[in-house]
Chain A
Amino acid sequence: MNKFLLTAFFAAAAATAGVAQAAPATYAIDPTHTFVTFEISHFGTSTNRARFDKKAGSVQFDRAGKAGKVDITIDMTSVNSGTAPFDKHLQSADLLDVARFPTARFVADQFAFNGDKVTEISGTLTLLGQTKPVTLKALNFNCYDSPMIKREVCGGDFETTLTRSQYGVTYGLNYGFPDAVKLIIQVEAIKQ
């Protein structure tokens, strides 16, 4: 994980309800509760899923100012479908080409809110060396005080759908494998 450490620092104000402090704060991604899973249709029959297991990054969240920043790096070699030959193919030059592009990076600073809940995060995703705009839609968003680590944790569930050919991943389009790939994202970040 260390080689993917990112240093994005930010200010967060009034992170807990009723506390009117404006001290800068950093939320570090909790790698045990942050995953990207992708879904793609398999011959129009069932849905193939795979998960990226290694990632790192940090998030800024300023509820009072309704602003935020996020910078997350995904280790593309950590793709995990449960099926070793499928992982190998995903990693190959046919698909994710992880030898040339070992990481993907999502950087965003446009946070949309409904009240104090984040509803959308817009930024750019760099995948296979191509940087394109991406908007993540929140299905859940919440902050809580963790009784285990005695810190505030903010996070949620987000989704987006990529058009993989935009990133040059065209393998299988002619066999009927769809261009659309759904990303399902769990994220939790711990106040530093």
Chain B
Amino acid sequence: MTAALPRACPGAFHRCTLALLALFSSAALAAPQTYTLDPAHSWVQFELLHFGTSTLRGRIGPLQGSVTLDPEAGTGELGLRITTATLSTGVRVFDARIRQDDLLGSDTWPDAYFVASRWRFEAGRPAEVRGEFTLRGISQPLSLTAVRYRCRVPTAPEPADATEICGGDFEGEFRRSDFGITFGLPFVGDRVRLRVQVEGRR
């Protein structure tokens, strides 16, 4: 609540008072809220085209981190840690191969990161977030676009152990060669599609 006060009180005292009254009467919606990622519902699935024929998929997660959002101000901070050794393709020999240093490099660089603070909101909901993606110690810009986004108050059968749960599906893409991952090109595509499921709780 305190962080919202300077924005709510830009002018004369009586306007400030009115703004404060409005703030309290419309509950705490205007304040930035911090959500901790729910490990059961925070994953990234990546997709690459195999011999121009079918789509290879792998899942990494759960994603760890938190998001602070202020929809009214259109601002937010996102910090995600992605432990790449959690990779699961459904084929153990693939998982072991992809963790090696010329691909994910899970021993040398155990974590990938996505840190972002440039948000585009539509109708009070995050529509896009742009930030920096770090993989194998290499950082590049990355944008994730919301496919859907919603906040809810948990109701049965969900445990009532959160005040609010917000999340959605986000998509993005990068070129793996930008991160030095060139093995298998061009038989396995350079373009990596990301499908991110994320839910945060407060």
Measured CB to CB, the residues of A under 8 A from B are 31-33, 35, 37, 42-49, 51, 53, 80, 82-83, 85-86, 140-144, 146-147, 153-157, 172, 175, 186-188
Cβ–Cβ contact A188 & B45, under 8 A: no
Cβ–Cβ contact B41 & A188, under 8 A: no
CA distance A56 to B201 in the complex (A): 40
- List 12 A-B pairs, Cβ < 8 Å: A32-B91, A32-B94, A42-B199, A43-B150, A49-B43, A51-B57, A51-B59, A82-B62, A85-B40, A140-B49, A142-B51, A186-B56
Q: B55, B88, B91, B168: which contacts A45 (Cβ < 8 A)?
A: B168
Q: A35, A51, A147, A156: which contacts B53 (Cβ < 8 A)?
A: A156
CA distance A147 to B50 in the complex (A): 13
For chain A, what secondary structure do more than half of its interface residues adopt (helix, strand, loop), or is it mixed? strand
Cβ–Cβ contact A140 & B53, under 8 A: yes
Known: A37-B57, A82-B88, A86-B40. A46 touches B51 (CB 8 A): no
Closest CB in chain A relative to B77 CB, distance in Å: 20
Neighbouring A residues of B156 by C-beta, 8 Å: 175
Cβ–Cβ contact A157 & B43, under 8 A: no
Neighbouring A residues of B158 by C-beta, 8 Å: 43
- Inter-chain pairs besides A35-B57, A80-B90, A154-B53, 17 sampled, C-beta below 8 Å: A31-B91, A43-B150, A44-B150, A45-B149, A45-B152, A45-B166, A47-B148, A48-B41, A48-B197, A53-B90, A82-B62, A83-B40, A142-B51, A142-B52, A142-B53, A144-B52, A155-B53
Closest CB in chain A relative to B162 CB, distance in Å: 12
CA distance A32 to B149 in the complex (A): 33
Known: A37-B57, A155-B54, A187-B54. A80 touches B88 (CB 8 A): yes
Cβ–Cβ contact B152 & A144, under 8 A: no
Neighbouring A residues of B57 by C-beta, 8 Å: 35, 37, 51, 186
CA distance A163 to B9 in the complex (A): 53
Cβ–Cβ contact B199 & A186, under 8 A: no
Neighbouring B residues of A83 by C-beta, 8 Å: 39-40, 62
User: Which of B51, B168, B198 counts the most chain A CB atoms within 10 A?
Assistant: B51
